[in-house]
């Protein structure tokens, strides 16, 4: 299964999502891939290979040095080879049959553009090469990869997902491009779905394309007829910028390149419902499995997050029963912004809202509250568009949170 992961700073959120463990990389992070309990992650000039069979205690197995100027944006592993998108240096092919001793087998220069994403099926590697478009590389002989086909996108190709004979390529403001690759030597564009935002990532499940569409949020497209894709549902992430998406079972994991991971129930693709979200920092993308999400951290390393979901929470969309002391999270709705505060014992909850010039606008709450969750709702109609800050304290802990009102 494919992964496109950049960076996220991990915090513990009310027990909804729990931090399992972490592997330090000490350098810029790009895509992560996990297969058969082995994770492959970039680390500066190379790749770390780690055993993640025990998520609470991942073990680094080896490090492969690609080069001093490497900057890896994506990794795809199939059989005994890791295919690496090495920024402007092209496609690198690493033999990982022995994860303790990885060896480079071959490489292929793509051109003068950055490689954003790759996807591998059989003996072909499909490469999203920015303004160089979609490149199709024959890797039947991994020591001598050869370009077999090329499709000019007419824009920046940010990723690629291939199913059967079709490649789905997000390309920014132009939307989602669907390309027939049944003949790899002559790929043919068959349709374009113009989204309302800036398409950065796509994940395909059955006849649906889940699109991370920038400020337009998550878009769900019916692609049962690839020549005429039709939007059937969407989830507006409001002020946030959706740049990555992964789908497992009935949940879409959508990441924002500023603060959050959204977890959205898509069991009914016409009416997606947000279940939870995770406040982090500078989030881009992630890879989700049945039991864990593998997330990489800029200049730090790989984190493994567990997200247990009970059937009761899916049905009633309630917050978890377990309360952690002095914690909070923010949920954006159409008309309100809800801030949930959790106290493990009875205490004061004092909150004021300030504008971007640090001028106090009003007091939101000034009273003693019982243990558990307290929800403070902010009516967006009462405030002009802009940044605001919530300041105060809950119990013995100071609170400082930023919200953005967008109408």
Q: Cα(285)–Cα(18) distance, rounded to whole angstroms?
A: 18
Domains of the chain from N-terminus onward = 18-316 (2.130.10.10), 327-405 (2.60.40.3080)
CA 107 vs CA 72, 81, 144, 193, 335: distances in Å: 14, 12, 7, 33, 52
Find the range with the poorest average confidence among 35-44, 136-145, 174-183.
Answer: 35-44
**Tens of pLDDT along 138-172?**
999 999 999 999 998 888 888 999 999 999 999 88
Phi-psi region of 67 (alpha: psi -120 to 50; beta: other; left: phi over 0): left
Q: Cα(116)–Cα(102) distance, rounded to whole angstroms?
A: 23
Token reading at 157 = 């190709």
pLDDT at residue 6 greater than cutoff 80? no
- For residue 87, the model assigns a pLDDT of 79
- For residue 109, the model assigns a pLDDT of 87
- For residue 94, the model assigns a pLDDT of 94
- For residue 164, the model assigns a pLDDT of 92
- For residue 239, the model assigns a pLDDT of 58
**Tens of pLDDT along 369-394?**
877 777 888 888 889 988 888 888 87
Q: What average pLDDT does the structure give for the chain?
A: 77
What's the mean pLDDT in 209-225?
92
All residues at 6 or more sequence positions from 209 whose CB lies less than 8 Å from its CB, including other chains: 168, 176, 193, 202, 203, 220, 221, 223, 229
Claim: this prediction has a pTM higher than 0.85: no
Tell me the helix, strand and coil percentages in the chain, rounded to 5: 5, 55, 45
């Amino acid at each position: 299964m494919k992964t496109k992961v950049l960076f996220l700073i991990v915090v513990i959120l009310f027990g909804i999502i729990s931090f399992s463990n972490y592997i330090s990389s000490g350098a810029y992070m790009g895509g992560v891939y996990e297969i058969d309990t082995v994770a492959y992650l970039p680390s500066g000039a190379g790749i770390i290979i780690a055993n993640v069979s025990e998520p609470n205690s991942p073990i680094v197995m080896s490090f492969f040095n690609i080069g001093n100027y490497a900057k890896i944006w994506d990794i795809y592993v199939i059989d005994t080879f890791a295919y690496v998108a090495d920024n402007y240096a092209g496609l690198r092919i690493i033999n990982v049959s022995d994860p303790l001793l990885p060896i480079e087998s071959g490489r292929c220069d793509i051109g003068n553009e950055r490689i954003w994403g790759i996807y591998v099926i059989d003996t072909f590697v499909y490469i999203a090469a920015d303004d160089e478009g979609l490149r199709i590389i024959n890797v039947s002989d991994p020591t001598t990869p050869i370009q077999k086909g090329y499709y000019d996108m007419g824009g920046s190709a940010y990723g690629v997902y291939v199913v059967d004979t079709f490649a789905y390529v997000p390309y920014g403001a132009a939307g989602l491009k669907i390309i027939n690759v049944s003949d790899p030597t002559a790929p043919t564009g068959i349709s374009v779905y113009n989204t309302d935002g800036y398409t950065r990532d796509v994940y395909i499940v059955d006849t649906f394309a889940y699109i991370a569409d920038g400020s337009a949020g998550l878009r769900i497209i019916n692609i049962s007829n690839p020549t005429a894709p039709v939007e059937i549902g969407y989830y507006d992430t409001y002020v946030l910028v959706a740049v990555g998406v992964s789908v497992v079972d009935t949940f879409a994991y959508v990441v924002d390149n500023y603060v959050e991971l959204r977890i959205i129930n898509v069991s009914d693709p016409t009416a997606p419902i947000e279940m939870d979200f995770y406040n982090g920092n500078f989030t881009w993308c992630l890879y989700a499995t049945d039991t864990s999400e593998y997330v990489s951290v800029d200049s730090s390393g790989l984190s493994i997050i567990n997200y247990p979901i009970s059937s009761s929470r899916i049905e009633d969309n309630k917050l978890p029963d377990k309360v952690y002391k002095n914690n909070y999270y923010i949920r954006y709705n159409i008309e309100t912004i809800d801030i949930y505060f959790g106290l493990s014992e009875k205490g004061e909850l004092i909150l004021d809202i300030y504008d971007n010039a640090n001028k106090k606008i009003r007091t939101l709450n000034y009273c003693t509250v019982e243990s558990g969750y307290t929800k403070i709702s902010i009516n967006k109609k009462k405030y002009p568009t802009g940044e605001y800050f919530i300041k105060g304290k809950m119990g013995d802990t100071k609170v400082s949170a930023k919200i953005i009102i967008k109408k």
